[in-house]
Amino acid sequence: MRIIIAGGHGKIALRLERLLGSAAVGLVRNPAHVSDVEATGARAVVCDLERASAEELAAVLDGADAAVFAAGAGPGSGVARKDTVDRAASALLADTAERAGVRRFLQISSMGAGKPPAGGRDEVWAAYITAKTQAEVDLRGRDLDWTIVRPGGLTDDPGTGLVRLEPEVPRGTVPRDDVAAVLAELLRERAAVHRTLELVSGDTPVAEAVAALR
């Protein structure tokens, strides 16, 4: 398989690339990040989704088996980049995948998406959740075999391999290791097509949690 991962230098993406090895192609904005991606066993391609043309991105996606949107504007970014990365870049990748015939598409979203931003949070958080919600809406309207995964609070704790993966779960946390493991399993099994799933730590092994969605 050949899996294109947008946001290839992100914390979840690097973990997913280690799991997929040479099957993964990580898209990075900064050329200095190429070596980190290649250290996982994946291939790196410099491609800035905030500036890339559809033609440039189509060349990268040509012949791919799946695409994963794991990009995000990240901490310290403002309202504008929540829109240009978390919404617009996801839409660009999905649009190009659709045109290129890359049907399988995984999107990493966030718990809280799909609802109005919770009160009491700052404008940047509200912009982030709004962008994730809009990206989900865009993806659901496309002719792709999409799956949306909404992780809970992300941690860098070692993964346990035990999760709760359902359309709706109580709020909680989940190690990034386990998010990557779920994504890899979804790709392998081509499970949960046209499903939106929430993900937190639980007591079900990843393979069983994904198999239950078939």
Instruction: Please identify every residue annotated as catalytic.
Output: 128
Instruction: List C-alpha distances in Å: 202 to 30, 37, 169, 193.
Output: 35, 29, 10, 22
In 3-state terms, what secondary structure has residue 10? coil
Torsion angle, CA of 128/47/14/2, rounded to 10 degrees? 120
* DSSP for 128-145, written as a single string: HHHHHHHHHHHHHTSSSE
Q: From CA 106, how far away is CA 104, in angstroms rounded?
A: 7
* Amino acid (one-letter) located at 193: V
